[in-house]
Amino acid sequence: MIVKGLIVPGKPHPLLVSDKNEGWKKLNQAFDKARKEIEATQADVLLIYSTQWLSVIGHQIQADPEPRWNHVDQEWHQLGTIPYQFKMDSSYAEEYQSCAQKRGLHARTVSYQGFPIDTGTVVALKLLNPQNKLPACVVSCNMYADRAETLVLGKAARDALEKQNKKAVAVAVTSLSHRLFTKDIPYAEDRIYSQKDDEWNRKILELLSHGRLEDVSQLAREFSQQASGDQKMKALWWLASLMGQHNRYDGIVHEYQPIWGSGAAVVSLTPSSKKEFEREFDEEDVEFFGSAQSKDLATPQSSTSKAAISVANAPKPVGAYPHARRVGEMLYLSGIGPRNSKDNSIPGGPVRNEKGQAQNYDVAAQTRAVIENVKTILEGSGSSLEKVVDIQVFLVDMDRDFKNFNAVYAEYFKDIQATRTTVSISALPTPIAVEFKVMALA
């Protein structure tokens, strides 16, 4: 469930140079008020949608458990470097990706050392969660996505929270009006770019101060047209959808100030039980995106020929085949070994070195890594280890390895009771001792 929603700006000024402008200082203080609100919620995770993380191939979800970097903004590099080390909820990220796929969205998790986390996310996390008290999950803003796709993305985030029984604070990192100065201005002379932008900003802030998030979501298109809304105000579609598409919130506008001409506000929305007026919907609500209409059509690639699945954080296949393939209710996994997805190393060591000489490997460690890789692929495909139906196991040295393999296997599958066949073979394509071939319910 969502215990609180926040709207915050993503420009670096309140973080890096709040002393240079009275308005940026007030925004910094407003972030601090929002931080205290978060800390009072006992939430499990901070969900972030940032308009500065743009994607084009569906949506991306950050799954690196501890991203770190010395970040410099593309535009405001002269304001300084922002070193960061964040804590992400990788498990939730995987769940979110899976739920997004089930609702017909193209989504993948990313977990790469040095992945460029956007300034908006960096600013929000540094100011709202400076001690990393909460793990976070960040989702990208698809630059081509319109309202329907973004609403479904919000609903998928809600699905994932329900599945993991977690409480979250949702943060929309976005400017309001987004007309920026194109020439340098003295910091002290910052102002909202135009009176019209200012009036529109104040209009939607008034609605938000009354907790009318869904009304603002309905107004997003008009607002964007009139006031150059930041990325069409998609962040508000995501937030409204994630928070249940209603107006029953207690809203507080902590601050509203300009940042380089754009409208910047810190707003908090807390679910309440107050009475709600009838809402006006200008468009049909949408539960699934594209052709997906039910769980049976959960994948965006609904035809048999396109039902191949590739999971970003699983070891890369060694040939032209996908990690898995969904046919009807069943999921068929390609043979999977113990290789580490990040560096291709083999936990427990290889069975032979580069010269072909036999090595003293640890089959228990290899088996554990195989099962973890199977788990990653299943979860990335919307399934789970508990849904495994049948397993074929290939061992390169049955006499040496069966006992230790079998012990680790039992740790995971004793209660699942999948059928199993174990065979001895002479070799596998990479220097590994064990490989699984798995079938599971989708």
Partner 1 sequence: MKGQVVAGVLAPHPPHLVYAENPPQNEPKSECGWEELRWGYERLRQQLSHIDYDVIIVHTPHWHTHTGHHILSVPKMKGLSVDPVFPNLFRYSYDLQVDVDLAKVLYEEFQASQLSSQLMTNKDFRVDYGTIISGHLVQPDWKKPIVSISANATYFDYSNDVGQDEMIRLGEATRRAVERSGKKAILLASCSLSHRHFTVEPPLPEDMSHEHVYNHNQYLWDMKVLKLMKEGKTQQLMSIMTDYIEQSVSETKAGSLTWLMGGLSFPTYPAQVHAYGSVIGTGNAVVSWMEAQS
> Torsion angle, CA of 149/136/301/344, rounded to 10 degrees?
150
In this chain, which of 50, 55, 218, 366 binds partner 1, going by CB under 8 A?
55
Nearer to partner 1, 78 or 426 (CB): 78
Residue 266, strand partner residues: 255
Q: Quick check: 106 binds partner 1 (CB under 8 A)? A: yes
CB of 171 to partner 1, least distance (A): 20
Nearest to 334, CA basis, from 374, 300, 387: 374
Binding span for partner 1 by CB under 8 A among 90-98, 108-116, 217-225, 354-362: 108-116
Please give the Cα distance from 285 to 59 (Å, whole number).
Answer: 20
The answer to whether residues 22 and 282 touch, using CB atoms and an 8 Å cutoff, is no
Binding span for partner 1 by CB under 8 A among 29-37, 40-48, 306-314, 376-384: 306-314
Q: Quick check: 189 binds partner 1 (CB under 8 A)? A: no
Residue 331, strand partner residues: 326, 440
CB of 303 to partner 1, least distance (A): 13
The answer to whether residues 131 and 83 touch, using CB atoms and an 8 Å cutoff, is no
In this chain, which of 36, 85, 114, 188 binds partner 1, going by CB under 8 A?
114
In this chain, which of 181, 187, 332, 402 binds partner 1, going by CB under 8 A?
181
For residue 105, give the amino acid letter. Answer: L
Sign of CA dihedral 43, 269, 46, 144: positive
Q: Quick check: 281 binds partner 1 (CB under 8 A)? A: no
Binding mask 360-399 for partner 1 (x = CB under 8 A): ----------------------------------------
Binding span for partner 1 by CB under 8 A among 32-40, 53-61, 152-160, 167-175: 53-61
Please give the Cα distance from 77 to 122 (Å, whole number).
Answer: 14
Please give the Cα distance from 263 to 43 (Å, whole number).
Answer: 28
Per DSSP bridges, beta strands 388-395 and 419-424 are parallel
Please give the Cα distance from 98 to 65 (Å, whole number).
Answer: 18
Please give the Cα distance from 287 to 100 (Å, whole number).
Answer: 11
DSSP-assigned letter for residue 88: B
User: Looking only at residues 119 through 178 of this chain, which bind partner 1 when binding is defined by CB under 8 A?
Assistant: 142, 144
CB of 299 to partner 1, least distance (A): 11
In this chain, which of 66, 115, 340, 411 binds partner 1, going by CB under 8 A?
115
Q: Quick check: 301 binds partner 1 (CB under 8 A)? A: yes
Q: Quick check: 304 binds partner 1 (CB under 8 A)? A: no
Residue 270, strand partner residues: 250
- Which residues contact partner 1 (rule: CB under 8 A)? 53-58, 60, 70-72, 74-75, 77-78, 80-81, 106, 110, 112-116, 118, 142, 144, 180-184, 228, 260, 300-301, 308-310, 312, 316-317, 320, 322-323
